[in-house]
Structure 1
Amino acid sequence: MHKKNLFIATVICLFAIVLTLAILNFSFGFIVYYLDQTQSIWWNRYSQTFLICVMAIMVTSLMYEIYIFRKGGHSLARQMNARYLDISECTPEELIAVQITESLAEQFNIVVPSVYILPDEVGVNALTAGADDTDTVIILTWGALQNLDELELHGLLSYTFNQIITGEAQQNIRLKILFSALITFNQLGSEIARRGFRSDISDEKEQRHKFETVLIAVGGMIWLMGSLGLLISRLVKYFTLSGRTFKNDLQTQVLLHSDTNLQTLLRIYVHHAGSQIHSSYSESIAHMCFANSLSPQSWLNTHPSIKSRIYCLSPHLIKELQQEKLKKLTHLTSFKLFRPFEYEEFGATHILWSAPKPLPSLRFAHALDFEHEQVYALNPIARKTIEKPQVVIRALQTATGVREVLVAILMIRQYKAFIPQTAAVSHAIIEALENIDHRLHIQIFLDACEQLKPMPLSMARKFLTRLASITQSDGYIGLLDILLLEKVKAKLNLLPVHMPTSSDSISTELTVLVDALLHVQHLGKESQKKRRIEILLQLVGEDILIDQTKVDLGLILHHMSGLLLRDRLKFLYIAEQCLWNDRVITQEELDVLKLLYWRFGFESSVMVDRVLNHNNMMIM
């Protein structure tokens, strides 16, 4: 099929070259006729020389491309100044990309392609090219590594592997060489004009080059002359290649039996820079890319819009995304998220769990009821290995006992002074837990979560509603309580897959989460207000006052987990620097920070060790 498409594209390209020469000769004839009315517009005494010069430039460009790409994809990477990802010198983000590439190559039993990165491109994109299996390369943009999490990056690389398996990567190089004759003048003019823009000048006193204006003018004229070939090239690619993108999306889903490439498209859909590549080669590589490398406003793009591709994979998801933008703080049951691919065919729906109504207000930090030394964080290893009460150990051996332990711990956290005798809870477990260090309760809760067995969906929702009702029985909710509920959701398969979110649309939710985080701190009123302003100025640029009633922290955490990777890391970094950089962290604060890392998709063990080492230095 690819050979057939390549033959058709070759015939059309040759016809396009002839048509381009005819139109250029006709345009040149107008200029000659303006200077000498005795000459014909269609053919004059200069036409032969003009056409020979133009054809010579086209052939030279074609031969140059053939010579350059004698080493396949590696030649393309060098031409675009891409940097090779050496596993011994990779950053953590680059290492993840290399590891995913190796695992996919092993899964599909093909030679591991080389991975390169375009360090100056902020758009989320990737391209694949190669003459054969030994020189196939995958070129990722810097924006793809910085903005995609591991699951989304897996979807992006899976698309490129589908191109390699189907032979499209080899066709990409041949098409680039073939169409180089049509876009020679356009690329040459673009490159000359770029020489006139010196964006690297940082010192205002540094003199600019005196020929910069000339370079821009000459480059612009050459670019304008080559626009005809560019337009014809786009027209040919649009009619011959635009349909294959939808086919590749569907093939990628079938190949992996998952919708990871759909999640990648959703991330690009909400990303501020989209998939655009700002390079003089963006036109010639457009057909190689995962998504459109040109401006979305460009005519006759090789790739359909991201919105159209999402609609093709999941027709109802675009409508749900639009509802999400219009209703920033709505319940998750108002739309469906990431149904398995086969659900689309049978029209089944997945109703997500929602918090009990009415929604609670944020709970302020309570006064310390324990001795001062009982507030400090325990060593995680010692905390996990401390012997539990026999009643709790026996309870954790049965499914019913595990659920009762979870209920008991949340009941103790809610009713710190006394627990009503009428409460539906095991008072023996309550009594055993109250007689041990309160800092062990969360560890026991997490251990119980690990023992929690899968339940039928209706029973799981009912149990989760029971836990949620306990945590907000006084009309208030704390961040640690909701994070514990999120942990239970994960074990019961009720935790929704994150929906990619733009940071510009959740400033209010971000403020609520900052307030909830501050309420965990044991700070004075003035100190808390100061820290709040400090954090919000770094995150959203202003101090926002909001009504803290009717708060759904679970929904807010769900939206936050859909932010870009760097936005989630930025929030956690600012929280650490502003809240715990100059003071000792308590056990409850450490539990909140650890669970926040988990909820945002990060490993927390290294962070816990670092914070505890910092605390030990402060105590000493």
Structure 2
Amino acid sequence: MLLTIFILNTILGLLVFYFDQSQSIFWHSLSPYLMVLLVSIIGWSVLYELYVFRAGGHSLAKQLRARRLNKLESTPEEHTALELVERLAQRFFIEVPAVYVLPDEIGVNALTAGFYTKNTVIILTWGALQNLDETELYGLLAHEFNQILTGEATENTRLKILYSGLTTFSQWGSKIAKQGFKHASVQSRHKFETAFVVVGGLIWLTGSMGVLNTRLIKYLTLRGRTFDNDYQTKQLSAHQANIQTLLRIYVHHAGSQIHSEYSEAIAHMCFANSLGPQSWLNIHPSIEARLYELNPTLLQDLQLENLTKISSKTWLSLMHALDESSGESYNPWLAPQPLPLLRLSPISFAIKDAIKPLNSDIRKQMQRPELIVRALQTSSGSREVMVAILMIRQYREFIPTGAEVSRAIIDALLNIDGRLHIQIFHDACENLGNIPATISRQFLTKLAKIIQEDGEIGLLDALLLERVKAQLNLLPMHTPSSLENAKPQIVRLIDALLHVQQINSVNQMDVRDQILKKVLSEEELELYEVISDEPIDLGEILNDISGLLLRDRLSILGMAEICLWNDRIITQDELDVLALLYWRLGFEHRQIVDEMQKKNSMMII
């Protein structure tokens, strides 16, 4: 504050000296009046902020014009955020903080404010709710809870009050200038719009000296703690979720910027930089620097992963072998070569069974052969059951004599309703237990070779393999990506989804055109007019699509539901694909499956 007063007094002294050279630059006839004015403004601002913050974080939320969330009137995204906050509060044994959202901010960011647990609030931007999936949102909220537990949220709130004396004048200028920028929908224009902009700009320019000094002090005193918070959050949550959150901001077109006139005052309270990326003396390091601190090889691995789309697997493996930057390397499981083609004829049950998908609760409770029940009690038996189910799905009427699986298990599975096989597969997957990494990879390779034994692969089998990957902790980390870059993968997924359906080829092509018209432009439609006959890695495609924005993934699933199952009965295989696809793209599927079964029953009746 003294530095700001000194600089402004010196600038005014230069003007006074220009007219009266007998006066000193540092102390002149106007200095007392300027001192009284500045001290009054600063003192009044701090006292006003103290009065405003009498209700703690709720006052800041009101000042930012944030909207409070409640479960009774919340969207699915808001409901997820509220549930995560409750879960974290229970885990750390603190009172559940109130949650607010800034409805006009598209950047991905969050902040926490308050003095005591009763008046502590978490404020999320609209962009955070709309663009983060549950894992990424968990990472963001874990960071905010870390600030609550360490007392940093209270410290940040006090700093907001203290520094308000230097930022208030600039905020006044911004508010006045905004009066001159009316929305285009407002027909009546104010005749003093230009005057508002000019006066507001001059006030903001005068107050910018205080803003600059505030930013300098914050930069010198607070910059180093961002890395500490990231490390603490990673240890606190025992999860890589905060890395996923940073990756999402890294590819998000709006970044983490907040466009409110208070963005300068709350910059030190935010998860990431709330100012423009080109602004000086940012308190928060760049997203790239934070990712590098958490995982030095991550950005390099992401670049190498992008190269796989245009280079061969052998060349990529050589590149990984030459990487000596860190012992903490990312070594994903790779599908066995050669890659299969897309299966164009679905593997399914007899039509009388296929049109009657079983309720998931009923399917879990249906009686099973004693041999299968005993096999599922051990890890090795569960693995054998999974191998047998995938073999039956591939060969249906012919089981290879040299198959490394008990013939009794195969016969037991063939003598029960085929619609139970997928549920038994899920149960066996949950009973795998802890398997060494090498054996896990060998088992996964064995399953992959079975489902592509004839050189083709279907979507349901690929999704079952993804389920096993998740159970064995071999599911690759998804890379946040944009819709434009993932369009080839979306087309291949739609093709795979279409060929699970029990509809004839002519109708399949019509439905394919309906879906693609909602995803692609007219020029792009011509590129994907013919179904590709190139080898396919459905696991990699699913992983790429899981990195899309939340709303893009929901849009893809919504189009599939409308175009595929809006006017026809859903089969058991299709229902299993729907549930697994929702799970693989990061969504809860139980409610969707229940709705589909109710609709299915009505159509059958």
Q: Same fold (TM over 0.5)?
A: yes
Partner of 2:179, secondary structure, is: helix
> Which residue does 1:72 correspond to in 2?
56
The 8 Å contact of residues 187 and 281 in structure 1, kept in 2 or not, is answered as yes
The 8 Å contact of residues 387 and 447 in structure 2, kept in 1 or not, is answered as yes
1:332 and 1:93 map into 2 onto residues whose CA distance is: 42
Q: Does 1:159 align with 2:140?
A: no
Alpha-carbon distance, 1:351 to partner: 3.2
The 8 Å contact of residues 336 and 448 in structure 2, kept in 1 or not, is answered as yes
The 8 Å contact of residues 173 and 202 in structure 2, kept in 1 or not, is answered as yes
Q: Does 1:180 align with 2:161?
A: no
Query: Deviation digits for residues 44-74 of structure 1, max 9, x if unmatched?
Result: 6556545544444333333322322233322
1:133 and 1:408 map into 2 onto residues whose CA distance is: 55
The residue type equivalent to 1:61 in the other structure is S
> Which residue does 2:221 correspond to in 1?
240
Partner of 1:301, secondary structure, is: coil
Q: 1:258 to 1:442 in 2, by over 3 A?
A: closer
Q: 1:442 to 1:391 in 2, by over 3 A?
A: same
1:15 and 1:333 map into 2 onto residues whose CA distance is: 61
Alpha-carbon distance, 1:439 to partner: 2.8
The 8 Å contact of residues 20 and 229 in structure 1, kept in 2 or not, is answered as no
> Which residue does 2:130 correspond to in 1?
146
Partner of 1:584, secondary structure, is: coil
2:118 and 2:206 map into 1 onto residues whose CA distance is: 38
Q: Does 1:216 align with 2:197?
A: yes
The 8 Å contact of residues 332 and 352 in structure 1, kept in 2 or not, is answered as no
> Which residue does 1:297 correspond to in 2?
278
Out of 557, 562, 568, the position equivalent to 1:572 is 557
Q: Which has the higher mean CA deviation after the structures are superposed, 421-430 or 454-463?
A: 421-430
Alpha-carbon distance, 1:253 to partner: 2.8
Partner of 1:226, secondary structure, is: helix
Alpha-carbon distance, 1:193 to partner: 1.5
Q: 1:435 to 1:109 in 2, by over 3 A?
A: closer
> Which residue does 1:377 correspond to in 2?
357
The 8 Å contact of residues 155 and 264 in structure 1, kept in 2 or not, is answered as yes
> Which residue does 1:469 correspond to in 2?
449
Out of 508, 516, 529, the position equivalent to 1:536 is 516
> Which residue does 1:17 correspond to in 2?
4
Q: Does 1:124 align with 2:108?
A: yes
Q: 1:160 to 1:394 in 2, by over 3 A?
A: closer
1:327 and 1:41 map into 2 onto residues whose CA distance is: 69
> Which residue does 2:393 correspond to in 1?
413
> Which residue does 1:10 correspond to in 2?
none
1:266 and 1:332 map into 2 onto residues whose CA distance is: 27
Alpha-carbon distance, 1:329 to partner: 7.2
Q: 1:587 to 1:234 in 2, by over 3 A?
A: same
The 8 Å contact of residues 25 and 51 in structure 1, kept in 2 or not, is answered as no
Alpha-carbon distance, 1:27 to partner: 5.8
> Which residue does 1:340 correspond to in 2?
none
Q: Does 1:404 align with 2:389?
A: no
Out of 194, 203, 206, the position equivalent to 1:225 is 206
Q: 1:362 to 1:56 in 2, by over 3 A?
A: same
Alpha-carbon distance, 1:243 to partner: 1.3
Out of 577, 580, 598, the position equivalent to 1:595 is 580
Q: 1:431 to 1:252 in 2, by over 3 A?
A: closer
2:550 and 2:71 map into 1 onto residues whose CA distance is: 21
> Which residue does 1:202 correspond to in 2?
185
> Which residue does 1:617 correspond to in 2?
602
User: What residue ranges of structure 1 are gaps of 5+ in the alignment?
Assistant: 1-13, 336-343
2:161 and 2:367 map into 1 onto residues whose CA distance is: 70
The residue type equivalent to 2:489 in the other structure is E
Q: Does 1:487 align with 2:467?
A: yes
The residue type equivalent to 1:579 in the other structure is L
1:268 and 1:181 map into 2 onto residues whose CA distance is: 32
The residue type equivalent to 1:388 in the other structure is R
Alpha-carbon distance, 1:372 to partner: 4.8
> Which residue does 1:311 correspond to in 2?
292
The 8 Å contact of residues 297 and 328 in structure 2, kept in 1 or not, is answered as no
Q: Which has the higher mean CA deviation after the structures are superposed, 579-588 or 79-88?
A: 79-88
Alpha-carbon distance, 1:405 to partner: 2.5
> Which residue does 1:6 correspond to in 2?
none
The 8 Å contact of residues 179 and 197 in structure 2, kept in 1 or not, is answered as yes
TM-score (ref. length: structure 2): 0.89
Alpha-carbon distance, 1:514 to partner: 1.3
Q: 1:68 to 1:394 in 2, by over 3 A?
A: closer
1:438 and 1:274 map into 2 onto residues whose CA distance is: 49
Alpha-carbon distance, 1:125 to partner: 1.2
Q: 1:172 to 1:381 in 2, by over 3 A?
A: closer
1:332 and 1:87 map into 2 onto residues whose CA distance is: 51
1:328 and 1:239 map into 2 onto residues whose CA distance is: 43
Q: 1:324 to 1:345 in 2, by over 3 A?
A: closer
TM-score (ref. length: structure 1): 0.87
The 8 Å contact of residues 332 and 555 in structure 1, kept in 2 or not, is answered as no
The 8 Å contact of residues 273 and 282 in structure 2, kept in 1 or not, is answered as yes
Q: 1:388 to 1:168 in 2, by over 3 A?
A: closer
Q: 1:249 to 1:400 in 2, by over 3 A?
A: closer
Q: Does 1:607 align with 2:592?
A: yes
2:86 and 2:346 map into 1 onto residues whose CA distance is: 51
2:233 and 2:349 map into 1 onto residues whose CA distance is: 57
Q: 1:19 to 1:322 in 2, by over 3 A?
A: farther
The residue type equivalent to 1:83 in the other structure is R
The 8 Å contact of residues 127 and 289 in structure 1, kept in 2 or not, is answered as yes
Q: Does 1:252 align with 2:237?
A: no
Partner of 1:182, secondary structure, is: helix
Q: Which has the higher mean CA deviation after the structures are superposed, 151-160 or 230-239?
A: 151-160
| Percent of aligned positions that are identical | 55
Alpha-carbon distance, 1:358 to partner: 0.5
The 8 Å contact of residues 496 and 558 in structure 1, kept in 2 or not, is answered as yes
Query: Deviation digits for residues 564-586 of structure 1, max 9, x if unmatched?
Result: 33222222112111111111111
Partner of 1:503, secondary structure, is: coil
The 8 Å contact of residues 335 and 448 in structure 2, kept in 1 or not, is answered as yes
> Which residue does 1:190 correspond to in 2?
174
The 8 Å contact of residues 100 and 154 in structure 1, kept in 2 or not, is answered as yes
The 8 Å contact of residues 333 and 351 in structure 1, kept in 2 or not, is answered as no
Out of 533, 536, 541, the position equivalent to 1:551 is 536
The 8 Å contact of residues 440 and 472 in structure 2, kept in 1 or not, is answered as yes
Q: 1:114 to 1:518 in 2, by over 3 A?
A: same
Q: 1:396 to 1:184 in 2, by over 3 A?
A: closer
Q: Does 1:285 align with 2:266?
A: yes
The 8 Å contact of residues 478 and 520 in structure 1, kept in 2 or not, is answered as yes
The residue type equivalent to 1:296 in the other structure is P
Number of aligned positions between the proteins? 592
Alpha-carbon distance, 1:557 to partner: 1.5
User: What residue ranges of structure 2 are gaps of 5+ in the alignment?
Assistant: 318-323
Alpha-carbon distance, 1:432 to partner: 4.1
